[in-house]
């Protein structure tokens, strides 16, 4: 398949490129003029910018590749909980609309893959189905989620004739399962960093319990980044013929947030009981002092379980490695001084 990819130089994109190459696809990577282009064999670079209404300039020599493309993967986005609404809106919402406009101009396009997020439904509770998308007029815990929700609405409302649309909703993505390696130390890494700092300051000996903004029952929908790349490459390579499909890309194993932190503390040698206090307002003022964005509290306290019916039905062969097998590698990598 000839695949055009946006966001291929990112955390997930770099690993997806390797997986897609191993399946024998021809890849065209859309990169901004001036961006660093990783030295990769068997890929072609296409200069473009998703923020421009004509993503690949009207007079660009790269336009000539469009008639060759069968599949478009749109993963370029701004994933930053502290960025402003205008910055996020331009990249995530306008960027997605621009890429859909580009897709409409690709004459033999058969597949459009869009990267959303598991947290796109922040107002829902209980078991959330893959085809559900909450209304955009509800309040959002942060502007990143507002813009990812808007962008997914755009994708769903503008299905292209003759094109199969696949929406990927990755969970909380952590380092590689075999090495622990990551280049994104956000999300749950903020807590691991906090525990490491507690240990190096010696403060952990003086506190009998560690109060944290958690709900006992909250789940953390983890997936290692190499597993995600492997799954998405498999899904791209083996399409199922649906006009529209959405997949919650999270492990089949249910991990509680409290279990993640307790196990992290055990592996880091800080064995103190956790006191879950699900009161966001109590903790928010302290988070900036700890160099954590208070926005992450929402992600630690989520009251949803992600249904996996569609991914299990279409791809029962996709299984994530066990938490007990890969998490010690995540921690080992951090202990080696990578944080």
Ligand X SMILES: NC(=O)c1ccc[n+]([C@@H]2O[C@H](COP(=O)([O-])OP(=O)(O)OC[C@H]3O[C@@H](n4cnc5c(N)ncnc54)[C@H](OP(=O)(O)O)[C@@H]3O)[C@@H](O)[C@H]2O)c1
Q: Return the residue of 28, 89, 115, 299 that touches ligand X, per CB under 6 A.
A: 115
Rounded-to-integer distance, Cα 133 and Cα 180, Å: 32
Q: Counting contacts by CB under 6 A, is residue 75 touching ligand X? A: yes
Chain center to CA of 299: 13
CB of 172 to ligand X, least distance (A): 6
Within the chain, residue ranges assigned H as helices are 11-22, 85-88, 95-104, 143-157, 189-201, 225-237, 257-268, 280-283, 296-300, 309-314, 323-333
Question: Which range touches ligand X (CB under 6 A), out of 71-79, 126-134, 207-215, 238-246?
Answer: 71-79
Q: Counting contacts by CB under 6 A, is residue 246 touching ligand X? A: no
Question: Which range touches ligand X (CB under 6 A), out of 73-81, 104-112, 208-216, 291-299?
Answer: 73-81
Q: Counting contacts by CB under 6 A, is residue 260 touching ligand X? A: no
Q: Return the residue of 10, 239, 278, 293 that touches ligand X, per CB under 6 A.
A: 10
Q: Counting contacts by CB under 6 A, is residue 76 touching ligand X? A: yes
SS3 204: helix
Residues 121-180 that bind ligand X (CB under 6 A): 148, 170, 173
* Of 197, 246, 187, nearest in space to 220 by CA: 187
Question: Which range touches ligand X (CB under 6 A), out of 70-78, 155-163, 316-324, 328-336?
Answer: 70-78
Decide if 332 contacts 338 (C-beta within 8 A): no
Cβ-closest position to ligand X: 10
CB of 53 to ligand X, least distance (A): 12
Rounded-to-integer distance, Cα 243 and Cα 164, Å: 5
Q: Counting contacts by CB under 6 A, is residue 28 touching ligand X? A: no
Rounded-to-integer distance, Cα 189 and Cα 175, Å: 10
Q: Return the residue of 6, 227, 301, 302 that touches ligand X, per CB under 6 A.
A: 6
Residue 165, beta-bridge partner list = 112, 244
Question: Which range touches ligand X (CB under 6 A), out of 3-11, 98-106, 129-137, 312-320?
Answer: 3-11
Closer by beta carbon to ligand X, 49 or else 177: 49
Question: Which range touches ligand X (CB under 6 A), out of 74-82, 124-132, 192-200, 259-267?
Answer: 74-82
Distances (CA, A) of 119 to 95, 144, 221, 249: 19, 10, 10, 11
Residues 42-61 that bind ligand X (CB under 6 A): 49-51
Say how many C-beta atoms besides its own lie within 10 A of residue 269's C-beta: 11
The first and second tokens of residue 298, run together, are: 């929402």
Rounded-to-integer distance, Cα 211 and Cα 278, Å: 10
Q: Counting contacts by CB under 6 A, is residue 12 touching ligand X? A: yes
Residues that bind ligand X (CB under 6 A): 6-13, 31-32, 35, 49-51, 75-77, 79, 91, 115, 117, 148, 170, 173, 184
């Amino acid at each position: 398949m000839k695949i055009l990819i946006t966001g291929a130089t990112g955390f997930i994109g770099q690993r997806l490129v390797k997986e897609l190459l191993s399946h024998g696809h021809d890849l065209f990577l859309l990169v901004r003029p001036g961006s660093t282009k990783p030295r990769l064999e068997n890929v072609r670079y296409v200069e473009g910018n998703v923020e421009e209404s004509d993503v690949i300039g009207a007079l660009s020599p790269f336009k000539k590749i469009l008639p060759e493309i069968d599949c478009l993967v749109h993963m370029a986005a701004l994933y930053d909980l502290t960025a402003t609404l205008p910055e996020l809106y331009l990249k995530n919402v306008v960027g997605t609309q621009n890429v859909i406009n580009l897709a409409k101009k690709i004459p033999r396009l058969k597949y459009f893959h869009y990267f959303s997020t598991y947290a796109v439904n922040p107002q829902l509770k209980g078991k959330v189905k893959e085809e559900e998308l909450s209304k955009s007029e509800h309040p959002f815990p942060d502007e990143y989620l507002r813009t990812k929700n808007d962008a997914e609405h755009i994708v769903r409302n503008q299905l292209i004739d003759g094109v199969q649309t696949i929406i990927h909703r990755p969970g909380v993505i952590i380092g590689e399962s075999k090495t622990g390696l990551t280049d994104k130390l956000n999300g749950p890494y903020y807590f691991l960093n906090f525990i490491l700092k507690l240990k190096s300051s010696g403060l952990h000996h003086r506190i009998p319990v560690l109060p944290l903004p958690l709900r006992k029952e909250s789940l953390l929908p983890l997936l290692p980044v190499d597993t995600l790349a492997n799954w998405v490459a498999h899904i791209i390579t083996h399409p199922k013929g649906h006009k529209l499909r959405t997949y919650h890309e999270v492990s089949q194993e249910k991990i509680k947030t409290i279990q993640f932190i307790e196990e992290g503390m055990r592996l880091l040698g800080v064995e103190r009981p956790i006191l879950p206090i699900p009161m966001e307002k109590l903790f928010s003022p302290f988070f900036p002092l700890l160099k954590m964005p208070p926005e992450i509290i929402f992600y630690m306290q989520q009251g949803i379980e992600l249904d996996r019916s569609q991914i299990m039905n279409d791809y029962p062969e996709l299984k994530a490695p066990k938490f007990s097998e890969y998490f010690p590698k995540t921690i080992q990598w951090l202990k080696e001084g990578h944080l």
